[in-house]
Amino acid sequence: TQLLEQSPQFLSIQEGENLTVYCNSSSVFSSLQWYRQEPGEGPVLLVTVVTGGEVKKLKRLTFQFGDARKDSSLHITAAQPGDTGLYLCAGVGSGYALNFGKGTSLLVTP
């Protein structure tokens, strides 16, 4: 199993603040995915990054894939309470199954 380490584990911020979540591994992945999970629901895909150095934007969310395809980051600008949830990164390796990080639990308070 290829391990993915996410940091921080927990994050509690005020509405309007910026934040960055990190996803790191010693393994190379062919692509990396980010999911958001709301309480009581299954994770939902936010984005897939494929190319080393790639940057993708989804409204206030910016995703970056490291040049060596071993790490990724998620930056949220001007966080809103609706951004609250568990953010999971997942790497596509050589097998059928994704390797998931343990997640970053984000709480945005008004």
Q: Say which DSSP state 98 is in.
A: P
Q: Does 56 bind another protein (CB under 8 A)?
A: no
Q: Does 45 bind another protein (CB under 8 A)?
A: yes
Among candidates 18, 42, 54, 19, which has minimal Cα distance to 100?
A: 42
Q: Does 10 bind another protein (CB under 8 A)?
A: no
Segment near another protein (CB under 8 A), from 14-22, 34-42, 59-67, 74-82? 34-42
Among 23, 76, 90, 108, binds another protein (CB under 8 A): 90
Measure the CA–CA gap between 6 and 16, rounded to whole angstroms.
Answer: 23
- Sequence-separated (6 or more) residues with CB below 8 Å from residue 94: none
Among 1, 59, 82, 110, binds another protein (CB under 8 A): 1
Among candidates 69, 64, 65, 63, which has minimal Cα distance to 93?
A: 69
Q: Does 41 bind another protein (CB under 8 A)?
A: yes
For the chain, the maximum distance between any two Cα atoms, rounded to a whole number of angstroms, is 42
Interface residues toward another protein, by CB under 8 A: 1, 30-31, 33, 35, 40-45, 48, 88, 90, 92, 96-98, 100-103
